[in-house]
């Protein structure tokens, strides 16, 4: 946006307005300011120093600017700006103005409650992980005020209100999150629908490749999924009844027919297959070739006719994975990833990424801290077991082991950040992390006693049943994504160079 020499009217001159004024001036615009309230003496002195005339908020003071920038507090539909709009003068919000100049990707966080805390937390987590970022928006620093310090490789973590979002067009968050939507600001928006629609703009400006993080438990948040162009939910169609560890033995066929492949066969253990929009699918395209060399990797729309998803109930009595059946399913040839019959190499790379598991380790570490707090509390009540040497030693050992698991996972993340595809390193992280977790869960469920075995929901459940859930889930982590034995094989052959 070229601003040099342009006459710009900024309406609303508190924090956001001031940020916009400074940005506009730096870009060479001639700025006038307008506010419904008479500026304080301090504000007047500041405007005088900037050389910005301030006028009262009346139609005759709007004049004929080239652009009008509104602070979030100023409603867009004020009749005051109708004439300017009719004359074709663009009227945009402060966040929209900033979007023209902000460098680096945006994490946009909205919601009726908790968005300031979440924004601060995300910024804190990124900094702790050594990821360059700056935090602003509704939380305190106007987005316009972040422009000068923004850099391409730096994340902008922004708290965004409905006022800031209702008219965005260019502003786009690479990662957009909505925490919840409950009735708020109805005096300004008129109805809950309008308020929800204003927040929903955050997802409407996203593009494919972006991420929408939505609170599934909140119906309004869930509804945003229909409007976002951010990436969709994927599942992985690798395993088959006769091909798990020996994945290359898979039998699902894909036969070329004109511009399509026709897929027939069955997948199993497909996590979230019942919710997914798309699947990454491995299918055999050459039955004569050696088994690793006859497999292709496809992207399959789960709504394609001929796909049937049947639930499988797991040992936690939950529905997470499925069987998926394919009968005459037509997949366009443009959905082939890599070369025909080259799918094995794409699949092993996918698995190398899946196996790093830093998110899992961090979750487990947090649980360990909860168990430590539980034991400390029991000790302070005078419970003798909680003071026993073997309990202390076990907790100390687990803490050390989790730290190692975290370092192994970070090593994988570091390799990825350098553009290197992790290999046996990912297997090390997966093997070690998932096995430490089993040791941890076995110890923790003992520390919690009988109450540790109760489901969440029981009033007597230890730590709200979280350890019981973790204990049951721990079994599957050493199987999913390749069993521990397979990880050991990978480390032995690819890491240590031992013969197959
Ligand atoms: C919770 C969960 C989620 C899953 N999600 C998905 C998913 O989304 N998509 C998907 O495609 N799959 C998924 N799977 C399947 C998973 O990838 C397979 O279960 C796994 O690869 C093991 O295959 P299998 O079950 O056929 O066991 P098998 O391969 O039959 O193995 C049986 C036993 O033999 C051992 N074994 C086999 N071969 C060797 C060998 N060469 N050397 C030493 N030991 C060996 C194994 O370690 C194991 O103990 C999931 C599994 C679980 C538990």
Task: Verify whether ligand 1 is closer than 6 Å to residue 277 (CB atom).
Answer: no
What is the reported pLDDT for 419?
85
Which domains does the chain carry?
7-97 (3.40.50.720), 102-226 (3.40.1190.10), 234-343 (2.40.110.10), 355-495 (1.20.140.10)
Kindly report the protein residue whose alpha carbon is nearest to atom 41 of ligand 1: 486
| Whether 346 contacts 297, CB under 8 Å | yes
Q: pLDDT: is 437 or 13 the higher one?
A: 437
Antiparallel, parallel or unpaired: β 260-271 and 253-257: antiparallel
Distances, alpha carbon 226 to alpha carbons 94, 131, 169, 204, 235, in Å: 27, 31, 18, 9, 19
pLDDT of residue 233: 82
Atom of ligand 1 nearest to the CA of 475: 53
- Cβ atoms of 174 and 210 within 8 Å: the answer is yes
- Tell me how far the alpha carbon of residue 480 lies from the centroid of ligand 1, in angstroms: 6
- C-alpha 239 to ligand 1 mean position (Å): 8
Q: Which residues are known to be catalytic?
A: 115, 138, 185
> Considering only CA atoms, which residue is closest to atom 27 of ligand 1?
244
Tokens of 223: 């509804």
Q: Is the CB of 316 under 6 A from ligand 1?
A: no
Determine if ligand 1 sits within 6 Å of the CB of residue 489. Answer: yes
Highest mean pLDDT among 76-80, 83-87, 366-370: 366-370
Give the helix/strand (H/E) hosting 201: helix 192-204
Indicate whether 179 pLDDT > 80.
yes
Output the pLDDT for position 355.
79
Confidence of residue 231 (pLDDT cuts 50, 70, 90): low
Paired tokens of 380? 């302070």
Give the atom of ligand 1 at the shortest distance from the alpha carbon of 481: 17
According to the model, what pLDDT value does residue 184 have? 87
Give the residue from 44, 55, 47, 51 showing the smallest Cα distance to 30. Answer: 51
Please check the confidence at residue 215 and state whether its pLDDT lies above 80.
yes
Cα four-point dihedral sign 480, 483, 484, 490: negative
pLDDT of residue 395: 97
Tell me the pLDDT of the chain averaged across its residues: 92
Q: How far is the CA of 321 from the centre of ligand 1 (A)?
A: 13
pLDDT digits (tens, 9 = 90+) for 98-139: 999 999 999 999 999 999 999 999 999 999 989 999 999 999
pLDDT at position 59 over 90:
no
Question: What global pTM score does this model have?
Answer: 0.65
Is ligand 1 within 6 A of the CB of residue 357? no
Q: Confidence band (pLDDT; 50, 70, 90) for 389?
A: very high
| For residue 230, pLDDT beyond 80 | no
CA 296 / ligand 1 centre spacing (Å): 20
d(C-alpha 286, C-alpha 294), whole Å: 4
Q: What integer pLDDT is reported at residue 358 of this predicted model?
A: 76
Give the long-range contacts of residues 404-409, CB within 8 A, separation 24 or more.
404/432, 404/436, 405/361, 405/364, 405/429, 405/432, 405/433, 405/436, 406/358, 406/361, 406/362, 406/365, 408/432, 408/433, 409/356, 409/357, 409/358, 409/361, 409/433
Establish how many alpha carbons lie within 13 A of residue 145's alpha carbon, considering only the half-sphere containing its beta carbon. 15
Q: How far apart are CA 263 and CA 259, in angstroms?
A: 13
N-term to C-term CA, the chain: 61
Average pLDDT over residues 144-167: 94
The H or E element spanning position 328 is strand 319-332
- C-alpha to C-alpha distance for 347 and 343, rounded to whole angstroms: 6
Ligand 1 atom at minimal distance to the Cα of residue 484: 47
Average pLDDT over residues 324-330: 98
Is residue 148's pLDDT more than 80? yes
The number of the ligand 1 atom at minimal distance from the alpha carbon of 473 is 1
Mean pLDDT of the region 378-401 = 96
Q: Whose CA is nearest to atom 16 of ligand 1?
A: 480
């Amino acid at each position: 946006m070229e601003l040099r020499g342009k006459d710009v009217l900024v309406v609303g001159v508190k924090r956001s307005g001031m940020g916009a004024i400074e940005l506009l001036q730096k870009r060479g615009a001639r700025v006038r300011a307008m506010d419904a309230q008479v500026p304080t003496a301090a504000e007047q002195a500041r405007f005088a120093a900037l050389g910005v005339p301030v006028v009262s908020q009346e139609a005759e003071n709007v004049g004929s600017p080239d652009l009008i920038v509104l602070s979030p507090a100023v409603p867009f539909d004020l009749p005051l700006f109708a004439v300017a709009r009719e004359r074709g003068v663009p009227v945009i919000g402060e966040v929209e103005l900033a979007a023209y100049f902000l460098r680096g990707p945006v994490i946009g966080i909205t919601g009726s409650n908790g968005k300031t805390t979440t924004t601060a937390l995300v910024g804190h987590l990124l900094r702790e992980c050594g990821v360059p970022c700056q935090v602003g928006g509704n939380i305190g620093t106007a987005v316009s005020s972040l422009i000068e310090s923004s850099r391409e490789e730096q994340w902008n973590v922004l708290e965004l209100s409905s006022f800031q979002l209702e008219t965005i067009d260019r502003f786009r968050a690479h990662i957009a999150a909505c925490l919840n939507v409950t009735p708020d600001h109805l005096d300004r928006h008129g109805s809950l629908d309008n308020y929800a629609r204003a927040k929903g703009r955050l997802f409407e400006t996203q593009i494919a490749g972006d991420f929408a993080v939505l609170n599934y438990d909140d119906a309004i948040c869930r509804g945003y999924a229909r409007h976002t162009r951010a990436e969709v939910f994927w599942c992985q169609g690798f395993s088959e009844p006769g091909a798990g560890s020996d994945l290359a033995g898979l039998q699902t066929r894909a036969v070329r027919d004109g511009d399509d492949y026709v897929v027939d066969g069955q997948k199993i253990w497909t996590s979230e297959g019942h919710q997914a929009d798309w699947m990454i699918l491995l299918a055999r395209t050459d039955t004569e070739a050696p088994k690793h060399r006859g497999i292709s990797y496809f992207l399959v729309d789960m709504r394609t006719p001929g796909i049937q998803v049947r639930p499988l109930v797991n040992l936690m009595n939950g529905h997470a994975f499925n069987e998926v059946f394919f009968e005459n399913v037509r997949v366009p040839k443009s959905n082939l990833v890599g070369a025909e019959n080259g799918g094995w190499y794409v699949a092993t790379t996918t698995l190398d990424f899946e196996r790093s598991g830093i998110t899992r380790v961090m979750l487990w570490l947090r649980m360990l801290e909860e168990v430590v707090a539980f034991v400390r509390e029991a000790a302070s009540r005078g419970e003798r077991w909680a003071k026993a040497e073997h309990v202390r030693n076990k907790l100390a050992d687990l803490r050390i082991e989790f730290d190692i698991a975290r370092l192994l996972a970070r090593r994988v993340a570091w390799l990825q950040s350098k553009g290197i595809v992790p290999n046996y390193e990912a297997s090390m992280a997966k093997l070690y992390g998932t096995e430490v977790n089993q040791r941890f869960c076995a110890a923790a469920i003992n520390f919690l006693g009988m109450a540790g075995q109760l489901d969440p929901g029981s009033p007597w459940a230890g730590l709200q049943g979280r350890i019981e859930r973790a204990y049951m889930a721990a079994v599957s982590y050493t199987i999913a994504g390749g069993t521990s034995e397979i990880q050991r094989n990978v480390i032995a052959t690819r890491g240590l160079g031992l013969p197959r």
